[in-house]
Amino acid sequence: MNLYGIRAIYVFEMARMKRTVVQSIVAPVLSTSLYFVIFGAAIGSRITEIDGVSYGSFIVPGLIMLALLTESISNASFGIYFPKFTGTIFEVLSAPVSWVEVLIGYVGAAATKSIIIGSIILATANLFVDVSIAHPVIMVLFLVLTSISFSLFGFILGIWADGWEKLTIVPILVVMPLTFLGGTFYSISMLPPAWQTVSLFNPVVYLVSGFRWSFYQNADVSVAVSLGMTLSFLVACLILVRWIFKTGYRLRT
| Other residues' Cβ atoms within 10 Å of the Cβ of residue 3 | 9
The rounded mean pLDDT for the chain is: 89
Compute the distance between CA of residue 74 and CA of residue 117 in angstroms, rounded to an integer: 13
Q: How far is CA 236 from CA 8, 156, 170, in A?
A: 27, 11, 18
Q: Is residue 181 domain-resident?
A: yes
Per residue in 178-231, pLDDT tens? 998 998 888 898 889 999 999 999 999 999 999 999 999 988 999 999 999 999
184 vs 139, residue with greater confidence: 139
Q: Is 38 left (phi over 0), alpha (psi -120 to 50) or beta?
A: alpha
> How many other CB atoms are found less than 10 A from the CB of residue 11?
11
Does residue 23 register a pLDDT over 80?
no
Residue 218 falls within a domain, yes or no? yes
Q: What angle do CA 35, 37, 43 make, to 5 degrees?
A: 85
Query: Is 199 domain-assigned?
Result: yes
Alpha carbons 145 and 187: distance in angstroms, whole number: 22
More confident residue, 49 or 80: 80
Q: Amino acid identity of 219?
A: A
48-61, pLDDT tens digit by residue? 788 888 888 899 99
Please, what is the angle between helix 27-42 and helix 99-125, to 10°?
Answer: 40
Which residues constitute the domain of residue 209? 3-247
Tens of pLDDT, residue by residue over 216-236, are 998 899 999 999 999 999 999
DSSP percent split of the chain into helix, strand, coil, nearest 5? 75, 0, 25
Strands 49-50, 53-54: pairing is antiparallel
Task: Give the integer Cα–Cα distance in Å for 208 and 210.
Answer: 6
Confidence at 118, pLDDT banded by 50, 70, 90: very high
Domain total in the chain: 1
Does a structural domain hold residue 253?
A: no
Measured CA distances, 238 to 105, 151, 155 (Å): 14, 11, 10
Structural domain includes residue 252: no
With respect to residue 26, please indicate whether it lies within any of the assigned structural domains.
yes
Nearest partner of 205 among 232, 170, 178, judged by Cα: 178
